Amino acid sequence: MLILLFFPLLAGCIFSLGIGLWVIYEHFFTTDVPAAIGHTMKLRILHCIFLLGINCGKICEKLGICSMPKFIRLFLQRIPIKKDPKVMVKNLCFGTVPVRLYQPKATSASLRKGIIFFHGGGMIIGSLDDYNSLCCYLSRDTDAVVLSVSYRLAPEHKVTSGTNDCMAASIHFLRTLETYGVDPFHVILCGDSCGGTLVAGVCQNLITQPDLPKIRAQVLIYPYLQAFNFQLPSYQQNKNVLFLTRSFAMNCIFRYLDVNPSWKTALLNGAHLPPEMRKKSEERLNVHNIPKRFKEKGYQHMSPGPFNELAYHENKQILWTVNSPLIADDNIIAQLPETLIVSCEFDILRDDALLYKKRLEDQGVPVSWHHIEDGFHGVLLTFDKKYFCFPCSLKILDIIVHFIKNL
């Protein structure tokens, strides 16, 4: 009997050791940990936990148990939700879209500002629970009503599903603001990472609907904004920086935008861009619009490879404006509301934010830009993680709260 128990136990130990060794190898030999971020030990521990989850998810995927993103989501569901005694929280459904409403418990003599929040997670992970503490904080410290939207994720749902959900929830909220005590002249869209993508896309769509209240402002926190050029300085300089490496970012893009991974090289080389789109890309994603100091180290200009017509036809959905809002026409950009953009130095998406800032400013849109010199992608979610909290996450939160309160 003991022998029968010994072999499964031994196999489990070997399996665990193998995963542990692979995580250590991946972290120390394939990932960059910039010294300028500081807090190196807790940064390494946090990243190893992240890699452990990713690799266990990949194994489950190979074994046909569940997809890697679903494994991560199940793991995150085990983390208890923190309640805020000063905020009232309600779970609702706007049609088929689950949402969570946050309202300060303190009474208000006037209508409150409204914040529509779209969470990050690369369109494959992230949930209302994962962002519960952040939304409570925003509601409490800005004295605003916050609506957090739970949109559909990949790989179960493909391209535009998430955008459609966010658009539907936003329209419903905008049409029922009185129900929630929200001032129709002070509604803000806010999101981080791919949530910033959704903010930009939804905001561009909402300005075409004059029957709805106008959005007062948009807040984009290290957003992903384009799939035209994967050779921008930040994509080269930070391609191996922990959490959002270029490889992991491409994995997220492939899953949500339904792209076959075999096209990775073509996309990285820009071979998917037809001649007319290359001209648009050169105008709107011109590297000369990125300040010189961001191009001084680790960047080499690369021209797009020869046009591959099949690569374009198989993957043209990644070039749609809803998925690459940075490329929108000038007449759309010019109508956008006041904008807050937060970028992080150690983030492959840094230059998406810088280029969008330039496009907005060129069209006369007021922009507040804050660059976090010791920031990295995803850092905002560490603000309430005690030992794993990074000071710059609190700095970003202060920037957001100050911007919203002064609108």
User: Active-site residue among 165, 192, 347, 352?
Assistant: 347
Nearest to 357 by CA among 284, 296, 269: 284
Pairing of strands 97-104, 87-94: antiparallel
76-81: Cβ within 8 A, 24+ apart: 76/125, 76/127, 76/129, 76/130, 77/127, 77/129, 79/129, 79/130, 81/129, 81/132, 81/133
Task: Please state the φ and ψ torsions of residue 310, each to the nearest 5 degrees.
Answer: -65, -40
Asked if 377 is an active-site residue, the reply is yes
| Tokens 């060794």, residue located | 21
Asked if 141 is an active-site residue, the reply is no
Burial environment of residue 129 by CB neighbours within 10 A (0 to 12, 13 to 18, 19 or more): middle
User: Active-site residue among 193, 281, 324, 343?
Assistant: 193
DSSP string, 96-110: TEEEEEEEESS--SS
Tokens representing 44 are 């390494």
CA distance 351 to 11: 46
DSSP string, 249-262: HHHHHHHHTT--GG
Nearest to 71 by CA among 62, 80, 83: 62
Neighbours of 341 (CB within 10 A): 22
Nearest to 363 by CA among 334, 341, 326: 334
Task: Please state the φ and ψ torsions of residue 291, each to the nearest 5 degrees.
Answer: -50, 145
Element of type H or E holding 50: helix 40-62
Alpha helices (H) along 285-390: 309-315, 330-333, 350-362
Report how far Cα 341 is from the mean position of its chain's Cα atoms.
13
Active site residues: 193, 347, 377
